[in-house]
Chains A and B, each alone.
Chain A
Amino acid sequence: MASEGRAQARHYVRSVPGAGYLLVVLILVFALFGEGFATLPNFLNIGVQGSVLLLLALPMTLIIMSEGLDLSMGAVLSLAGVVLASMLMNGRPLWVALAAAAGVGLAFGVANGVLVVTLGLPPFVATLGTLGIAQGLALVLTGGQSVVGIGDALPALYESRIAGVPFSIVIALLAFLAFWWMLSRTRVGSYVSALGGNREALTLAGVHVDLFHIGIYAAGGLMSGCAALLLTGRMSAGHPTAAIGLEFDAVAAVIVGGTSFERGNGTLAGTLIGVLTIGVLRNGLNVLSVPSSLQVASIGVLVIAALVVDSTIAALGRPAGSRP
């Protein structure tokens, strides 16, 4: 009876990613030491700031689960933002501009997929190459300058609230629900896990593996393109290097959320916790007036901390005497 209870406790301890504990600790620390941290407006603020990150981290979870990586997301998002802002500046309607941005993102996502899946290039270098291309295109299109004068439609939409909830949080929640539905209510979830570990079985089961695999990268590009809506709305402008490096936060959120590169396991809930942890960390450090450059460095430390906590939990949760 006692050992059963202990086994159950072990199960619960192991099912929460290390970041869950870190998140609680961070919130407690910042609430104690940061003036104005534990207030409703500030928590909404964390949600708003984390919404763009969540849009990238959701497809990044699928990509990393399939033993891949997409380092081009930040650059593609910047490029899509520049395209969106330029079209608005030229007086195109918002939906046309958004469709163009999403199209740019989708094109890069499909290109990444083809490079990785069809040509067999290692994902981190393939997407590093497309990162360079997207960044170069954004710079060439704008001459390195900001695109301003995008009109009022997008900023007004961005500032709007739906039932009191800021627009960007609503979008992020909708995206989360869509990905969650896809992963838990359709076959996509088991396909993604199988891509990492058991590709052969998937082929034998009659799945168009390559097409499906390209689709995962395409989703990453598409989401990067769509995230341009929130990014450009927040800045009321397009800038060619606006989101450079945001893919680092996304990769960090996914790893912190307990998705591993090797075993094809991972959860969207974990990624959500990872995004919140990074959001709380950045916001809390802001409240404590730590410069943003050091916040970036602290995310590197956070990833290491989460990995150490994860491996400690794994060691604790293992029955005594057994080896991994």
Chain B
Amino acid sequence: MKSLAYRLVAVALMATGLALTTEAFFTGPNLFNVLRQASLTFLIASGLTLTILTAGLDLSVGANVGLSACMAATVMKSSGSIALGVATGLAFGAVVGLANGLMVTALKLPPFIATYGMMWTLNGITYWFMAGETIHGFSPGFRALGSGSWPAPIPPYWPGVPVPIYVMAAFLAAGGVLTRYTTFGHEVYAIGANREAARLSGIPVRARLNLVYTLSGAMAGLAAIVYLARLNSAEADIGEALTLPAIAAVLIGGTSLFGGVGSLTGTLVGALTLTLVVNGMNLRAVDANWQPLVTGAIVLLAVWIDVMTRQRAEARV
């Protein structure tokens, strides 16, 4: 909890710095834009957080967003039904997640290898399926999910709260309850802290891991829906640049790669931090080509802090 407070202070300092050095930062529309962007990152990163809590990893979340978004877009366009499109996106996401889970539990592959292979496999399928096409122009009712605001904006007095923020809040609350107050949540932490001990104390480890990876996939599917509604178009490369930021968000949020330590609230703070960095770079007109470099450096820094924290904790014991 104390470390989370430090992270919040860091976010506040960054925000203050941006507010003082750029004129555009501290305006209603930009702040809500930051939150909207952070919500999308959070949705992808939340399922990923669960897998990392079990000492696993899901490198396929970005590619999963890509495939699920393209499938949802195709079904929505051809059937004209929003519900059917949303269901397709969620189903594809979940099935991919289950396949990841089975590779980890049944084939006993290390999670990073299984999901890394899945990432390239999904990319290939998505590119083949889309064949260079772009699907765009969805109904206003669907687009409201990504780009709408409620209560409606009244410029210039009230910018309106973007809908993705409500989605994020709902899933943060649900995820918080799931991880903190349910047996399943406690089992996730137990598996991550010590898998063998968890198994010996009667936790069905494989079944739980399958569920965790399925949830991670389903969250990627949900993120795909919101992302699709925001962009109003689907292309094969839609999810390509999303994995590294999601991992960065989880790690900045204090969830340990070694499992058993971390929280969804932390991941939200991580997503906010990362979005502020990107937003600051945009406001200062830094070339977008710098973004993978900065995200990569942030990932390295976050993991280093994680490793040092762990070493210090071990030295204390």
A308 and B106 CA atoms in complex are apart in Å by 11
CB distance from B129 to the nearest CB of A (A): 8
* B223 close to chain A: CB less than 8 A: no
Q: Give the residues in chain A near B127, CB-CB below 8 Å.
A: 291, 293, 296
Least CB separation from A293: chain B residue:
B127
Whether B303 contacts A132 by the Cβ 8 Å rule is: no
Query: Given the known A-B contacts A136-B290, A137-B293, are A297 and B116 also in contact in the complex, defined by CB atoms under 8 Å?
Result: no
Least CB separation from A137: chain B residue:
B293
A110-162 residues with Cβ-Cβ distance < 8 A to B are 115, 119-122, 124-126, 128-133, 135-137, 139-140, 143-144
CB distance from B305 to the nearest CB of A (A): 10
* A245 close to chain B: CB less than 8 A: yes
A126 and B300 CA atoms in complex are apart in Å by 6
* A295 close to chain B: CB less than 8 A: yes
Whether A291 contacts B128 by the Cβ 8 Å rule is: yes
Query: Given the known A-B contacts A297-B124, A303-B117, A307-B109, are A125 and B292 also in contact in the complex, defined by CB atoms under 8 Å?
Result: no
CB distance from A139 to the nearest CB of B (A): 4
Q: Give the residues in chain A near B244, CB-CB below 8 Å.
A: 128, 131-132
Q: Give the residues in chain B near A130, CB-CB below 8 Å.
A: 296, 300
Chain B binder among A31-39, A98-106, A216-224, A247-255: A247-255
Least CB separation from B311: chain A residue:
A120
Whether B287 contacts A129 by the Cβ 8 Å rule is: no
Q: How big is the B interface, by class?
A: 35 or more
Whether A300 contacts B257 by the Cβ 8 Å rule is: no
Q: Give the residues in chain A near B293, CB-CB below 8 Å.
A: 132-133, 135-137, 139-140
CB distance from A197 to the nearest CB of B (A): 16
Q: Give the residues in chain B near A251, CB-CB below 8 Å.
A: 113, 116
* B265 close to chain A: CB less than 8 A: no
Query: Given the known A-B contacts A125-B247, A125-B303, A128-B247, are A297 and B297 also in contact in the complex, defined by CB atoms under 8 Å?
Result: no
Whether B289 contacts A140 by the Cβ 8 Å rule is: yes
A129 and B300 CA atoms in complex are apart in Å by 5
A319 and B287 CA atoms in complex are apart in Å by 63
How many A residues face the partner with a CB closer than 8 A? 43
Query: Given the known A-B contacts A135-B292, A248-B120, are A294 and B125 also in contact in the complex, defined by CB atoms under 8 Å?
Result: yes
B289-317 residues with Cβ-Cβ distance < 8 A to A are 289-297, 299-300, 303-304, 307, 311
A298-322 CB mask vs B (1 if < 8 Å, else 0) is: 1111011001100000000000000
Least CB separation from B298: chain A residue:
A129
Whether B103 contacts A119 by the Cβ 8 Å rule is: no
A122 and B251 CA atoms in complex are apart in Å by 13
A124 and B251 CA atoms in complex are apart in Å by 14
B261-311 residues with Cβ-Cβ distance < 8 A to A are 287, 289-297, 299-300, 303-304, 307, 311
Whether B120 contacts A125 by the Cβ 8 Å rule is: no
Query: Given the known A-B contacts A132-B299, A295-B124, A296-B123, are A121 and B307 also in contact in the complex, defined by CB atoms under 8 Å?
Result: yes
Q: Give the residues in chain B near A248, CB-CB below 8 Å.
A: 116-117, 120
* A214 close to chain B: CB less than 8 A: no
* A53 close to chain B: CB less than 8 A: no
Whether B121 contacts A297 by the Cβ 8 Å rule is: yes
Whether B116 contacts A71 by the Cβ 8 Å rule is: yes
Whether B303 contacts A140 by the Cβ 8 Å rule is: no
Whether A120 contacts B307 by the Cβ 8 Å rule is: yes
A140 and B121 CA atoms in complex are apart in Å by 28
* B76 close to chain A: CB less than 8 A: no
B61-82 CB mask vs A (1 if < 8 Å, else 0) is: 0000000000000000000000
A274-305 residues with Cβ-Cβ distance < 8 A to B are 291, 293-301, 303-304
* B118 close to chain A: CB less than 8 A: yes
Whether B287 contacts A140 by the Cβ 8 Å rule is: yes
Cβ contact of B295, chosen from A126, A132, A144, cutoff 8 A: A132
Query: Given the known A-B contacts A121-B307, A124-B57, A300-B118, are A136 and B289 also in contact in the complex, defined by CB atoms under 8 Å?
Result: yes
* B107 close to chain A: CB less than 8 A: yes
A36-79 residues with Cβ-Cβ distance < 8 A to B are 69, 71
* B110 close to chain A: CB less than 8 A: yes
Whether B296 contacts A131 by the Cβ 8 Å rule is: yes
Least CB separation from B123: chain A residue:
A296
Whether A294 contacts B110 by the Cβ 8 Å rule is: no
Least CB separation from B306: chain A residue:
A121
A217-261 CB mask vs B (1 if < 8 Å, else 0) is: 000000000000000000000000000010010011001000001
Whether A133 contacts B297 by the Cβ 8 Å rule is: yes
Interface centre among A248, A297, A308 (most CB of B within 10 A): A297
Least CB separation from A297: chain B residue:
B124
Whether B113 contacts A261 by the Cβ 8 Å rule is: yes
CB distance from A137 to the nearest CB of B (A): 6
Q: Give the residues in chain B near A295, CB-CB below 8 Å.
A: 124
28 contacts between A and B (CB under 8 A): A115-B300, A119-B307, A120-B311, A124-B116, A128-B59, A128-B299, A130-B300, A132-B297, A132-B299, A133-B293, A133-B296, A133-B297, A135-B292, A136-B289, A136-B293, A136-B296, A139-B293, A140-B293, A245-B120, A293-B123, A293-B124, A293-B128, A297-B121, A299-B121, A300-B118, A300-B121, A304-B107, A304-B117
Question: 6 closest A-B pairs (Cβ-Cβ)?
Answer: A132-B296, A136-B293, A300-B121, A297-B124, A296-B124, A293-B127
Residues of A bordering B, CB below 8 Å: 69, 71, 115, 119-122, 124-126, 128-133, 135-137, 139-140, 143-144, 245, 248, 251-252, 255, 261, 291, 293-301, 303-304, 307-308
Given contacts A296-B127, A304-B103, 11 further A-B contacts (CB under 8 A): A69-B113, A122-B303, A124-B112, A125-B299, A129-B299, A130-B296, A133-B292, A144-B289, A261-B113, A291-B128, A297-B125
